[in-house]
């Protein structure tokens, strides 16, 4: 597994056109001159629009090369990206292995000969995480859209922005929803422990945060779903916090509760809009697919994974102000992030399909606790 490097691209239309040209075929380079100033842009447009072959090469480079450069930067700058595990290069599943404590026994020289060659089984547990999020984002680019992009100095730049807003920001938003989905389901299904607090003052929460954060550092079977003895050092603890609730806190007080300086703590604090609402409408089509097809026909799709967050489940989240998790609690791996294209000659447009596949799961061995106020 690896994490994609953050990349940047100068968004000026002139630079975009020259980057495409420098990476294009010799045929394209022979036909299209390098752009030196804004007045050259319409000339390039005329040359490209007058040749269907050049159109295809340009639009594919624009979407697949330039668009995906910007996509990588956008998607991996989402608020919770540090909790993803990277890209799964091979296979479609990950086995998570937890090795417990070695057994202890009293020393005795008298029976040493009986113990010498005996086999001692280790306390090894495993959990499998499989690809369960396979979705596709369709996009159509009309020939007229491409033609208009060459009529202004920032036209190509704005065309790319439109692409990102339609497809890649959508994928980023869905990834945010996946994190929120797992937090809500985790509390409701018991994979995230809940701790009640009767608070008369906002500082009572800070005391509770400090207590739980300290408890996480000790080996305990209390705070993970599998009931194994595990611990989470301070530097591996992250806290999701209701944004309204967070507004009531002084950052210095929160940082002190976790025994961190302000700068370090801000890297561990992950704000969430709230825990009592969810955008079920966004995934309506995905759920409909899962309901319309049998499990065998829908294998690998997201329909079976994405259930509706019910009103009852949202009601159960009332009072949840924060959730502390181990950095390994979320088991999210990117598997496929690819754009496929098809030129539709009869309609003078191009269809693009952005495929986004992931493993989306949580670890039964990692600590997680929700703080619920009364």
DSSP E strands in 77-123: the ranges are 86-87, 93-99
Tell me if 8 is assigned to some domain: no
Tell me if 4 is assigned to some domain: no
pLDDT of residue 306: 77
> What strands lie across the sheet with 269-272, from one edge to the other?
193-197, 368-373, 320-326, 237-242, 269-272
Interval 105-115: pLDDT, tens: 787 777 877 77
Interval 323-372: pLDDT, tens: 999 999 999 999 888 888 888 889 988 898 989 999 999 999 999 999 99
Kindly state the percentage of the chain with pLDDT values over 70. 89
Residue appearing with tokens 């953050």: 6
Do residues 73 and 23 share a domain? yes
pLDDT of residue 98: 75
Between 265 and 5, the higher pLDDT residue: 265
Rounded to 5°, the CA angle 29-34-35 comes to 145
Question: In the numeric block, which tokens belong to residue 145?
Answer: 């859209």
State the average pLDDT over residues 149-167.
Answer: 80
Q: Give 128's pLDDT tier (boundaries 50, 70, 90).
A: confident
Tell me if 6 is assigned to some domain: no
Number of domains in the chain: 3
Do residues 218 and 169 share a domain? no
Tell me if 121 is assigned to some domain: yes
Do residues 291 and 227 share a domain? yes
Tell me if 285 is assigned to some domain: yes
Tell me if 294 is assigned to some domain: yes
Domain membership of residue 117 as a residue range: 96-128
Do residues 23 and 76 share a domain? yes
Q: Kindly provide the b/e burial profile for residues 306-337, where b requires at least 16 CB atoms within 10 angstroms of the residue's own CB.
A: beebeeebbebbebbbbbbbbbbbbbbbbbeb
Do residues 142 and 285 share a domain? no
Q: DSSP H helical segments within the chain, as ranges? A: 13-22, 26-31, 41-49, 52-60, 68-75, 112-115, 143-149, 155-163, 169-189, 202-216, 243-247, 251-257, 262-266, 284-292, 311-316
Tell me if 319 is assigned to some domain: yes
pLDDT exceeds cutoff 90 at 246: no
Residue appearing with tokens 């202890």: 104
Do residues 153 and 181 share a domain? no
Q: Which of 325, 358, 368, 364 is nearest to 126 (CA)?
A: 364
pLDDT of residue 162: 78
DSSP 68: H
Question: In the numeric block, which tokens belong to residue 277?
Answer: 């609402």
pLDDT exceeds cutoff 90 at 152: no
């Amino acid at each position: 597994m690896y994490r994609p490097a953050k990349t940047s691209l100068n968004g000026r239309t002139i630079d975009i056109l020259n980057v495409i040209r420098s990476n294009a075929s010799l045929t394209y380079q022979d036909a299209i001159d390098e752009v030196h100033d804004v007045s050259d842009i319409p000339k390039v447009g005329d040359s490209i629009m007058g040749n269907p072959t050049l159109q295809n090469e340009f639009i594919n480079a624009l979407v697949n090369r330039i668009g995906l450069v910007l996509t990588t930067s956008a998607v991996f700058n989402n608020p919770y990206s540090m909790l993803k595990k990277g890209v799964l290069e091979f296979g479609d599943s990950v086995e998570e292995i937890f090795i417990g404590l070695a057994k202890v026994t009293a020393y005795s020289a008298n029976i040493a000969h009986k113990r010498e060659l005996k086999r001692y089984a280790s306390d090894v547990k495993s959990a499998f995480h499989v690809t369960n999020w396979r979705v596709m984002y369709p996009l159509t680019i009309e020939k007229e859209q491409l033609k208009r992009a060459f009529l202004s100095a920032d036209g190509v730049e704005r065309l790319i922005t439109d692409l990102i807003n339609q497809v890649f920001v959508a994928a980023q938003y869905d990834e945010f929803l996946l994190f929120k989905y797992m937090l809500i389901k985790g509390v409701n299904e018991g994979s995230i422990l809940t701790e009640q607090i009767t608070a008369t003052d906002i500082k009572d929460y800070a005391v509770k945060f400090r207590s739980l954060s300290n408890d996480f550092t000790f080996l305990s079977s209390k705070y993970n779903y599998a009931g194994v003895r595990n611990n989470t050092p301070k530097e591996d603890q992250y806290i999701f916090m209701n944004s309204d609730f967070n507004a009531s806190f002084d950052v210095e007080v929160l940082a002190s509760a976790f025994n961190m300086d302000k700068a370090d703590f801000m890297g561990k604090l992950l704000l969430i809009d709230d825990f009592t609402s969810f955008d079920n409408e966004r995934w309506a089509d995905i759920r409909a697919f899962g309901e319309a097809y049998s499990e065998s026909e829908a294998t690998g799709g997201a329909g079976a994974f994405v259930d509706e967050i019910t009103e009852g489940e949202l009601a159960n989240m009332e009072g949840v102000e924060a959730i502390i998790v181990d950095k390994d609690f979320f088991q999210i791996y990117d598997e496929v992030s690819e754009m496929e294209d098809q030129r539709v000659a009869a309609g003078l447009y191009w269809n693009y399909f952005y495929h986004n596949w992931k493993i989306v799961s949580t670890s039964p061995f990692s600590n997680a606790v929700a703080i619920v106020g009364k």
